[in-house]
């Protein structure tokens, strides 16, 4: 039986929540090194990345590495129209804890957010995308808000790279017309080219 998106979200969130801190750290270190080794990452002047929460592959050390390499780094903030925008940061200390209903973060996600007056990156060279599950063709199951699907239709030149644990790659996902696939997948076991 094929699971629906809501059923898959429940299953994948539960499996991710069951990971130990050591498992997350070990896998995240491998993913980070794979990302830093990517030609697209080395050539990009700017990188838009999520800020990890809830046992997602860690991006905080990756953000530190990118800043140390002299990359322009931006992270998500939701504007008053409900659209996700890439706000530039100079350090993780620029972020403030998000709480449900606070400006810049959707009600259902407690995401750390950059200041509202931080500059925008309107065309990042690389976008690092979170997900609960992916297929090896680049289709993605997100949290259900559609923020990345909408964002990825805007900057036409960005290379979308999904970060996930290898077990999060599954055979099939229910696809909808608005779903935006990623170009590459980086896991703790492999790097896959999807749609370029």
Kindly report, residue by residue over 90-144, the tens digit of the pLDDT: 999 999 876 555 555 554 456 888 988 999 998 999 999 999 999 999 999 998 8
Q: What is the pLDDT along the chain (196 residues), one digit of tens a residue?
A: 578 889 999 999 999 999 999 999 999 999 999 999 999 999 999 999 999 999 999 999 999 999 999 999 999 998 878 889 999 999 999 998 765 555 555 544 568 889 889 999 989 999 999 999 999 999 999 988 889 988 988 767 899 999 999 999 999 888 777 778 999 999 999 999 996 4
Q: What is the C-alpha separation between 139 and 35, in angstroms, rounded?
A: 19
CB proximity list for 69: less than 8 A, separation 6 or greater: none
Q: What is the C-alpha separation between 111 and 104, in angstroms, rounded?
A: 9
Burial bucket for residue 5 (CB in 10 Å: 0-12, 13-18, 19+): middle
- DSSP helix/strand/coil, 169: strand
What pLDDT was estimated at residue 196? 42
- pTM of the entire predicted model: 0.92
Q: Which residue has the tokens 């998106």?
A: 5
Measured from the Cβ of residue 137, the count of other Cβ atoms closer than 10 Å reads 14
DSSP string, 126-151: EEEE--SEE-TTS-EE-SSS-HHHHH
């Amino acid at each position: 039986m094929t699971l629906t998106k809501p059923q898959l979200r429940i299953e994948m969130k539960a499996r991710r929540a069951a990971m130990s801190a050591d498992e997350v750290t070990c896998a995240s270190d491998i993913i980070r090194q794979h990302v830093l080794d990517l030609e697209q990452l080395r050539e990009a002047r700017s990188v838009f990345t999520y800020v990890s929460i809830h046992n997602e592959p860690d991006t905080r050390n990756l953000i530190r590495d990118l800043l140390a390499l002299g990359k322009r780094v931006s992270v998500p903030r939701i504007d008053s129209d409900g659209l996700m925008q890439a706000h530039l940061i100079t350090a993780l200390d620029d972020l403030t804890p998000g709480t449900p209903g606070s400006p810049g973060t959707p009600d259902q996600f407690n995401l750390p957010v950059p200041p509202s007056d931080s500059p925008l990156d309107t065309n990042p060279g690389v976008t690092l995308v979170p997900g609960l599950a992916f297929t090896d063709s680049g289709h993605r199951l997100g949290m259900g808000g559609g923020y990345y699907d909408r964002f990825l239709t805007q900057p036409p030149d960005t290379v979308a790279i999904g970060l996930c644990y290898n077990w999060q790659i599954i055979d099939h996902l229910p696809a909808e017309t608005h779903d935006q696939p990623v170009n590459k997948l980086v896991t703790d076991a492999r790097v896959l080219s999807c749609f370029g």
